[in-house]
Structure 1
Amino acid sequence: MTKKQLILEKASELFAKQGFEATSVQQITDYCGISKGAFYLSFKSKDELVQTLIDQVMMRYISDIDHIVNRSENENDTLFDFYYTSYHFFEKHSDFAKIFIKEQMHSINEEVLTKLQSYNRTLEELILSMIHRIYGDTVNPFKYDFMYYIKSFLNAFSDLFLYYNAPINLELMCESLVEKTNLIASHTKTTFITEEIGLLLQQPNHEDITMTQLLILLKKKIDELEESIEKESLILIKEDLQNPVYSLAIIKGLIGNLKGNPKCKQIAYILSHYYQI
């Protein structure tokens, strides 16, 4: 075992007992039986150590889920394997998860929170990919709703590993969740999270939305609308994205034409952020 790995393992044990904030570098080095100098040869700070731990744990989980979603051979077992792998992971790493529950969010630095958000978005993308693989285009109208249903199952049932000591039949629980997920897929009729909202959820920093993504949304919205000033405004904006000719003031006016139509409010919001107006 390398010195860096020793520090990671011993620090993880201390964090599980005391939390991030209450554990000092001195305590970590004493627990490892090394000097502070040896610690700082491996990590610049305690924050970097925490970040490395998060990377290790989350990369294992994301890698396992990616294999199930994109590389497993039996599609019929994909959903069961997804739930089983996730809950087995929660069970194995419950002490690590409890650290975040104990800690006040303000005690975890912004860089760590950003990294956690990045892993969360990667998980959402994998769930969307899994949904498409299992159910095809039939769930496209409510795929973002569906993704959140699956995430809600993960979050709600993970409490069983974090707060309760009762024995859990993991296979039975996952079979039950597969059954419920399939029922949702076959009976859902109403869509809440539209394509526009879904894009915003996946790209919390609106300036990260690409022109290609925006053009796809515009085309879809244009096809949905009947002839109107809103449709004409969207056509002009789409053309300008591909071949800029209008001033920002004109674009602002075209976006303003959209805001009074309930069907166009979301796309108007996305466009406003994209153009930063």
Structure 2
Amino acid sequence: MEKKQLIMDKAVELFAKQGFEATSIQQITDHCGISKGAFYLSFKSKDALIVALIDHFMIQFTENIDYEVKSTKNVNDLLYNFYYAVFHSFHEHSDFAKILMKEMMQSFDEELFLKFHDYNGMMEKVISSMVERLYEDQIEQTKYDLMYCIKGLMKTYSELFIFYELPLDLDLLARSLSEKTMILAENMTIPFISNEMRESFNHPLNEKPSQEQILDILEQNIAEMEASIEKESLVLLKQQLLEPTLSPPLVNGLLENIRKHPHCKWAAYLLRNHFKLEH
């Protein structure tokens, strides 16, 4: 296991028991069996570690759902697959999701709130694309209200097993929320969120990244990774970004090689959207 990933995994264990504020760098290094010097080679501070953990969690969460929505061919399966992916991701990272939701109002500075603002904007784009595929122009007046109802269902039902530790039947939950969403979509008649209101919402960090920014992320990932199929795929994707020569199926194959690696999910998400590929 890479040292950076080891520190992140062990820190989550301590944060889950003690919270962010009560956990010291010394405790983290002791739990990892490393020196403080080794910690500072990976992270400049505990705050930097917390930011990295949030990025790690939110990138995997957003990318998994975006991938599921875009790869679902049958529109009749779209809502079910969306909700299943949402709650499967929450369940996979339940320890960190739990401490994140409990302590976010106490521990985070402006930078972290902006990050959440950014990820919230990306999730809204995923939901928006799903709603448009499902209903096209059938619910033009109420589509933004439906989007926020979907976000509300995600948040409220995630709290049931994050805070109350209820048993999670993913299949039943995904079917139940799909039914509720369809009922809302078919019966809502009074919109609250207008197009003008929606356009006034500001997502300052949610602008499309430039090719140079994506290249910087790829180069950082390539430099940090040991020789592997994922690293080779990243190198080829970097070349494709600079000088497109590969066919879409080959690019899709390279993206599949990297998307399950925890440090490549952000790159996979950005590249998939940059190349505008269909699954």
8 Å Cα contact 1:29-1:36 kept in structure 2: yes
Larger helix fraction of residues: 1
Contact in 1 for aligned 2:64/2:89 (Cα 8 Å): no
Is the 8 Å Cα contact of residues 10 and 32 (structure 2) preserved in structure 1?
yes
Cα distance change on mapping 1:151 and 1:74 into 2, 3 Å: same
Q: Return the index of the structure with the highest Cα Rg.
A: 1
1:50 maps to 50
Instruction: Describe the SS at the equivalent of 2:137.
Output: helix
- Over residues 159-212 of structure 1, what are the superposed CA-to-partner deviations in whole Å (9 max), with x where a residue is unaligned? 2211223323221121111111111111111111000111123x156xx9xxxx
Q: Deviations over 1:61-94 (max 9, x none)?
A: 1111111222322221111011011111112222
| Contact kept in structure 2, 1:21 and 1:103, CA below 8 Å | no
Question: In the alignment, what sits opposite 1:272?
Answer: none
More displaced 10-residue stretch of structure 1: 117-126 or 106-115? 106-115
Write the distance in 2 (CA, Å) between the matches of 1:177 and 1:32.
Answer: 40
Question: 1:100-115 maps to which residues of 2 (within 5 A)?
Answer: 100-103=100-103, 105-115=105-115
CA distance in 1, matches of 2:19, 2:193: 36
Identity %: 51
Q: Within 5 Å, give how 1:230-269 maps onto structure 2.
A: none
C-alpha distance 61-175 of structure 1, shift in aligned 2 (>3 A)? same
**Larger relative contact order, structure 1 or 2 (CA cutoff 8 Å, min sep 6):** 2
Q: How does 1:209-224 map to 2 (within 5 A)?
A: none
Q: What runs of 5+ residues in structure 1 fail to find an aligned partner?
A: 209-277
Could you tell me which residue of structure 2 aligns to residue 178 of structure 1? Answer: 178
Rounded to whole Å, the distance in 1 between the matches of 2:169 and 2:6 is 34
Give the distance between the partners of 2:40 and 2:127, measured in 1 at CA: 38
- The total of aligned residue pairs comes to 205
- Assess if the C-alpha contact under 8 Å between 2:142 and 2:191 holds in 1: yes
Q: CA deviation at 1:136?
A: 0.7
Aligned equivalent of 2:93: 93
Equivalent positions of 1:185-224 (< 5 A) are: 185-201=185-201, 203=202
> How far apart are the structure 1 equivalents of 2:100 and 2:5?
21
**What does residue 218 of structure 1 align with?**
none
Please, what TM-score do these two structures have when normalized by structure 2? Answer: 0.70
User: Helix, strand or coil for the counterpart of 1:137?
Assistant: coil
- Whether the 8 Å contact between 1:64 and 1:85 is mirrored in structure 2 is yes
- The one-letter amino acid of 1:161's match is F
Read off the aligned partner of 1:172 and give its amino acid letter.
L
Partner of 1:118: 118
Take 2:102 and 2:129, find their aligned partners in 1: how far apart are those partners? 33
Counterpart for residue 63 of structure 2: 63
**Structure 2 residue 35 is the aligned partner of structure 1 residue 32:** no
Paired with 1:158 and 1:53, the residues of 2 have a C-alpha distance of 19
Whole-Å separation in 2 of the counterparts to 1:163 and 1:73: 34
8 Å contact from structure 1 (residues 145, 193) kept in 2: yes
SS in 1 for 2:140: helix
Which whole-Å CA distance do the structure 2 matches of 1:64 and 1:101 have between them?
20
Q: State whether residues 72 and 78 of structure 2, in contact with CA within 8 Å, keep that contact through their aligned partners in structure 1.
A: yes
| 1:2–1:65 CA distance, 2 compared to 1 (3 A) | same
Distance in 2 between the 1:98 and 1:169 partners? 18
Letter in 2 for 1:193: I
Whether the 8 Å CA contact 1:11–1:28 is kept in 2: the answer is yes
Contact 2:161 / 2:167 at 8 angstroms: preserved in 1? Answer: no
1:19–1:99 CA contact under 8 A, matched in 2: yes
Are 2:83 and 1:83 aligned?
A: yes
Structure 2 gaps, min length 5: 208-279
